[in-house]
Structure 1
Amino acid sequence: MTEEEKKRGEAEIQRWLEVGSVEIPPADVRIVTSGGRRIPVHSTVLASASPVLESILGGPHKGRSRGREIPILGVPCDAVHAFVHSLYFARGRAYDRCVSATEEEMIGEHGMHLLALSHAYRVGWLKRAAERALSLRLTAEGVVDVLVLSQRCDAPRLHLRCLQLLSKDFAAVEQTEAWRFLQDYDPWLELHILQFLHHAHLRRRRQARRKAEQRLYAELHEAMDCLRHICADGCGEVGPSGRLLPAHARPPCPNAVSCRGLRQLIVHFAACDREKRQQHGCRRCKRLWQLLRLHASICDEVDDASCKVPLCIQFKQRMQEREGELEEDERWRLLVKKVASARVMSHLAKRQSQLLV
């Protein structure tokens, strides 16, 4: 910040004080920066903005604040000037809901120093604004420094945002000088980061596995619809014997890909050698057998005779006779429950899309 910009900022502060005031009291306190600069301020503004500054001003020299100096050291002069500028311009309004573009830019420029100052002097709105500004400007090059600062300044939202960026772009962060410094001088924080990365990896794996399972249940639900469609109406070269409708009169396939796969399974099952199937076991035949059993498990036809899928009644009777006998029945019941849930969710999604149209 140039000298001209500093003077212009002080003039803006002065104009802010003139609003609604006929007589402007003279500045009675000076802020001393690390560079030896002395910024004239008003004790009433400092006391109303920060409880820490209020405690300092209300100390042993209470009532004799004129000419007093408050040192704010350890940060650049420009950052202290921006801190004071923010205290004045936040006076009398809800700062969290009303931040101009110029002020946002200023907070973003001095974000790390303003976060440290707002934490040290307990200026809550400025601390939240600095957190937001730093969150929007995080990069792989500087995320480690911001992470350390967020930990020391008790900024959990910013801390989590830094860890998320580390998890997303750790390969780039590993190449930075800040990460190598952290490895040499703060092994506990390094361990904390690596544990977070490990847990994030496990979460991603669980989410991927859950999505894969949901896709499987949705595909099985589509296969059940296609099985009913093939057995009731016919599809392609496969259909009920003696009742196969002409192509133009058949209802559309629920899913062309699933229908084609099921038709191939049915054709193979009809042509597969029975002795070979019974002695060695045919994987494709077993797959169709399992689909027929799954259909019987979720079939909701009130009258079993009205279901056109083969072996539906036989599978239902067999399941009633063998209920609870095998340990795998629990796993099968869970599969049936998941496919039935996928069926309900599919119907709800279709209904919602129809209502939106």
Structure 2
Amino acid sequence: MPEAPRTDGGALAPADVDVVTTGSRRKIPAHSSVLASASPVLESILQRRLQRVKESGKPGRVLVRIRGVTDDVAAAFVRLLYAGRRGDGETAVVDEDVERYAEQLLVLAHAYGVPWLKRWCQEAIGSRLTPGTVVDALQLADLCDAPQLHLRCMRLLAKEFRAVERTEAWRFLRENDPWQELDVLSRLQDADLRRRRWRRKSAEQRVYMELSDAMDTLHHICKDGCTEVGPLGQAPAQTPCPSYATCRGLQLLIQHFSRCKSRTTCARCQRMWQLLRLHAALCRLPERHCNTPLCSQFKRKEEQKEEMATPVSPKAGGSGGGGDGRWGLLVKKVKAVRVMSSLAKRSPADTEC
């Protein structure tokens, strides 16, 4: 038994509670102050029992019955309540109790309102999950309101579902509890949809970042006259280009665009047209102050579209219908990425007031 509370004189205070299990004659001595401070449920039970003993005037220990577990599990539960009170939850005895009786202790911790013990048990059960035990652990997590264990079970189910399907526990669940099976499958489907949505958004964000880098490179080429590029520290570039791969690829695209005779059908030329149009939509320089080709022409063309657009018709989709609506969304996304990138590149000294 862990160290009991001491009296003012330093002597050990006598135990005033006996913990017993259903159908057992073994009594586990404990102290009401320890049990009450560790569990609000036990505190409520002990208050009623102690009041009855006080009213009856008969001396003796209060009897607390823990149902549904063995004597060893009940003794481990009492030891852990003492360990949690003293804050020595890292001792070897405590670790052995949690590891050995984690499932039963999780039920007791939930029933008697001991949150720190629930966390310990969830970690112990989650650390040894396998495809053969994950179904039972998931049902236990739902029963005991254990979100940390539930999350670990769902992760393992999503990762090893083919192996889980072949286990006896899953076959038993399918035959005896189809609603639970349907709930698990729907959760897995929702998780898969969220994962696919996140991947799609990440891919879109990478595209916007690449377009933002292409705009910076295009401005760099047209403003700085970067026509001879090479890796850092190598000739013939007198001032090495900081973004060699992007700059070189964009220069090759510009060279092809200037020489191609079939720009209306060429895929590479169409890509260059889109980059130039995107630059014009993002450019804020006055007319004739931008060195990028076709910037002024694209700006005038967009202005003409805005003047010809009918503001009364909401079905027109803004200027130019559905295609330009998607184009406007692309421009907004690239603008947002450029703003966030510029804020990330600012030094702490620039943000000081």
TM range (shorter): 0.7 to 0.9
Tell me which of 255, 267, 279 is aligned to 1:283: 267
- CA shift, 1:100, in A, is 2.2
- Which residue of the partner structure matches residue 314 of structure 2? none
Q: Which amino acid aligns with 1:156?
A: P
How large is the Cα RMSD of the aligned pairs?
3.1
Structure 1 residues 149-160: aligned runs within 5 Å? 149-160=140-151
195 and 177 in structure 1: CA distance in 2 versus 1, 3 angstrom threshold: same
State the Cα deviation string for residues 11-39 of structure 1 (Å, max 9, x = none).
xx2x3345864253255524236665432
Cα separation, partners in 2 of 1:226 and 1:54, compared to 1, 3 Å = closer
Q: Which amino acid aligns with 2:39?
A: S
**1:309 is matched with which residue: 289, 292, 316?**
292
Same amino acid, percent of matched pairs: 49
1:310 Cα offset (Å): 0.8
1:164 aligns with 2:155: yes
* TM-score, normalised via structure 2 length: 0.80
Unmatched segments (≥5 aa) in structure 2: 230-234, 310-318
- The amino acid of 1:318's aligned partner reads K
SS of corresponding position for 1:62 = helix
CA deviation map 1:137-181 (0-9, x unaligned): 434332222211121122233323322332233233333322222
Q: Is the 8 A contact 2:107 2:144 kept in 1?
A: yes
Structure 1 residue 353: Cα displacement: 10
Establish whether residue 107 from structure 1 lines up as the match of residue 102 from structure 2.
no
Summarize the Cα distance change of 1:26–1:115 in structure 2 as closer, same or farther, 3 Å threshold: closer
How far is the alpha carbon of 1:78 from its aligned partner? 2.3
- Show CA shifts across 1:66-125 (max 9, x none): 26654434323322111011223334x5x5xx6324324432332211111122223343
- Quick one: structure 1 residues 51 and 314, their matched pair in 2 at CA, closer, same or farther if it must change by over 3 Å? closer
27-36 vs 199-208, which moves further: 27-36
Say which SS state the counterpart of residue 31 (structure 1) adopts: strand
Partner Cα distance (2:26, 2:225) in 1:
89
1:297 paired residue number: 281
1:341 to 2:324 alignment: no
Of 75, 78, 96, the residue aligned with 1:84 is 78
Rounded to whole Å, the distance in 2 between the matches of 1:290 and 1:25 is 85
Listed as ranges, the matches of 1:172-211 within 5 Å are: 172-211=163-202
Instruction: Give, in whole Å, the separation in 2 of the partners of 1:252 and 1:304.
Output: 30
Q: Is the 8 A contact 2:19 2:66 kept in 1?
A: no
Q: Determine the structure 1 residue equivalent to 2:232.
A: none
Q: 1:298 to 1:34 in 2, by over 3 A?
A: farther
Q: Deviations over 1:50-69 (max 9, x none)?
A: 34444544259533572665
Which amino acid in structure 2 is aligned with residue 25 of structure 1? P
Q: Which residue number in structure 2 is paired with residue 40 of structure 1?
A: 29
Alignment pair present for 1:330 and 2:320: no
Conserved in 2, the CA contact under 8 Å of 1:229 and 1:253? no
Distance 1:121 1:169, change over 3 A: same
* Maintained 8 Å contact 1:140/1:173: yes
- Equivalent in the alignment of 1:262: 250
Q: Specify the code of the residue in structure 1 equivalent to 2:141.
A: S
Residues 140 and 172, structure 1, Cα contact 8 Å, conserved in 2:
yes
User: Per-residue deviation at 1:253?
Assistant: 3.0
Helix, strand or coil at the partner of 2:28: strand
1:304, distance to aligned residue in structure 2 (A): 2.4
Which residue type is aligned with residue 225 of structure 1? D
1:322 counterpart SS class: helix
Deviation at 1:297, TM superposition (A): 0.7
Tell me which moved more, 228-237 or 79-88. 228-237
State whether residues 21 and 69 of structure 2, in contact with CA within 8 Å, keep that contact through their aligned partners in structure 1.
Answer: no
Alpha-carbon contact 2:109-2:115 (below 8 Å) kept? yes
Helix, strand or coil: the match of 1:24?
coil
Q: Distance in 2 between matches of 1:304 and 1:252?
A: 30
CA distance in 1: counterparts of 2:29 and 2:124, whole angstroms: 27
Gapped runs of 5+ residues in structure 1?
Answer: 1-9, 239-245
Which residue number corresponds to residue 228 of structure 1? 219
What corresponds to 1:243 in structure 2?
none
Q: Which deviates more from structure 2 when the two are superposed, residues 23-32 or residues 324-333?
A: 23-32
How many angstroms apart in 2 are the aligned matches of 1:329 and 1:319?
A: 10
Three-state SS of the structure 2 residue aligned to 1:90 is helix
Find the aligned partners of 1:228 and 1:23 in 2 and give their Cα distance.
82
Give the direction of change, closer, same or farther, for the CA distance of 1:354–1:139 in structure 2 (3 Å limit): farther
Instruction: Look up the equivalent residue of 1:300 and give its one-letter code.
Output: R
Q: Which amino acid aligns with 2:60?
A: R
Counterpart for residue 346 of structure 2: 351
Q: Quick one: structure 1 residues 28 and 257, their matched pair in 2 at CA, closer, same or farther if it must change by over 3 Å?
A: closer
